[in-house]
Amino acid sequence: MKVLVIGGGGREHALIWALSKSPRVKEIVCAPGNGGIAAIARCVPVSQSDLDDMLRVVVQESPDLTIVGPELPLSLGLVDELQRRGLAVFGPTRAAAMLETSKAFAKRFMQRHNIPTANYSVASSAEEAIKALGLFHFPLVVKADGLAAGKGVIICDTKAEAENAINGLFSGKLLGTAATSLVLEEFLSGEEVSFLLLCDGKHAAPLVPAQDHKRIGEGDTGLNTGGMGVYSTDSILDAEMTQWLLHHVAQPTLAGMAAEDAPFVGVLYCGLMMTARGPMVLEYNTRFGDPETQAIMVRLESDLFEALEASVQGRLSDTEFRWKPGAAASVIAASGGYPGAFTSGHPISGLAEAAKVPDVVVFHAGTALVDDHCVTAGGRVLAVTATGDTLENALSKAYEAIAKIQFEGMYYRRDIGHRALKKPRA
């Protein structure tokens, strides 16, 4: 089989790393890929914001299966276009991706289908939003309706902050483009869990759970990022909780989307808050998480290609998954200044030494090759990932490896897994 992966981050590197182990996969092409992916797949340039350009690459490469990594191509309807041409593609249609691309749609959908989520209100003007503030206590969460690359959620402690957020989102000052609607939402506290499932339209198969670290600073402080590190252990969700989530979240989501003529095929990523009132869905993503995928793929022992193919062909209920027990951890090395402004093009050293640490895989996120040398080319640069018998063991290998890597301005959090490490061992 020839596989084409659209995307060029750490997530795609991890997917391709797992696909390359499948005896069914003979050739992997990645568009656009990155400096690390280039070592295990042929990379071809593409603009991920240009639907015609992506279609051109798919037609030119003529793969047996196309896998869409990021949300932008999904929101542009890449899957719909490929399906129209009779091509096999893993990912949701534009209508199904609305669970991620419109937070207002997602909230109303959850309400229609009794899926547990925070109380909310949708507003389509600043005036309407400010009026609705009276319905909420503080802190309050203000969310832009559309895709915002992790920057569209603002937690407000006071009415003045909420008014600023509302005005900033509608004027375009905060995100660059003016919001046409936003969601006001009750603030929830608890631990966050990333619960990802492969879906074939009817059936959902849970992947091992993960916990992301969204903030830039240690102790979960500072600005939100795409994710600064992640770990995966089975203890994040026990078997009983997993069954509860299948029954109350995943299955109603699939049944609801099918009933609304947008059957969901692809990865359903439920961002959960485990509150004192029970688990609540904070958000849906309709794709693999980044960096969750890096920690999940190093634990996957069964064949990823077979599982993705079964999702596309509606055969997931017959598919078996095998996982490495123990733990995986992934620590992001970021460019200095991220998630704000940063510079790129800095040479990266120590990659080979880091990869020699046992059970470590260094996934590339924002890197490029210049004259055969890897340089930085993004905010999140590397995801240094390790497995271990215990979380402590996985983390110590990941940190041993990341300490061997250097580039100008490199920053990483030294406290990935801190919540789990503080808990008494089960």
Window of 108-116, 184-192, 362-370, 405-413 that interacts with ligand AMP by CB under 6 A: 184-192
Judged by DSSP in three states, 384 sits in strand
Chain centroid offset of residue 219 CA = 21
Residue 20 token pair: 């390359």
Can you tell me which of 10, 152, 289, 378 binds ligand GLY, judged by CB under 6 A?
Answer: 289
Shorter beta-carbon distance to ligand AMP: residue 80 or 212: 212
Each residue 96-135 as x (binds ligand AMP by CB under 6 A) or -, in order, gives ----------------------x-----------------
Residue 17 token pair: 């790393």
Q: Does 285 bind ligand GLY (CB under 6 A)?
A: yes
The least CB distance from residue 360 to ligand AMP, in Å, is: 27
Shorter beta-carbon distance to ligand AMP: residue 54 or 281: 281
**Amino acid symbol at 135:** L
Can you tell me which of 200, 283, 303, 309 binds ligand AMP, judged by CB under 6 A?
Answer: 283
Query: What residues numbered 148-167 form the site for ligand AMP, per CB under 6 A?
Result: 153
Can you tell me which of 187, 321, 399, 411 binds ligand AMP, judged by CB under 6 A?
Answer: 187
Q: Does 411 bind ligand AMP (CB under 6 A)?
A: no
**Alpha carbon separation from 226 to 220, 232, 245, 247, 279 (Å, rounded):** 13, 17, 24, 29, 22
User: Phi/psi at 14 (nearest 5 deg)?
Assistant: -65, -40
Judged by DSSP in three states, 311 sits in helix
Residue 267 token pair: 């990865």
| Rounded Cα distance, 68 and 48, in Å | 10
**Alpha carbon separation from 225 to 57, 150, 168, 293 (Å, rounded):** 30, 6, 19, 16
| Rounded Cα distance, 394 and 276, in Å | 30
Window of 287-295, 306-314, 386-394, 406-414 that interacts with ligand GLY by CB under 6 A: 287-295
DSSP state, residue 247: I
The least CB distance from residue 289 to ligand GLY, in Å, is: 3
Each residue 229-268 as x (binds ligand GLY by CB under 6 A) or -, in order, gives ----------------------------------------
Q: Which does 292 bind (CB under 5 to 8 A by kind): ligand GLY, ligand AMP, none?
A: ligand GLY
Q: CB of 368 within 8 A of CB of 34? A: yes
Residues at the site binding ligand AMP, with contacts judged by CB under 6 A: 118, 141, 143, 153, 185-188, 192, 214, 271, 282-283
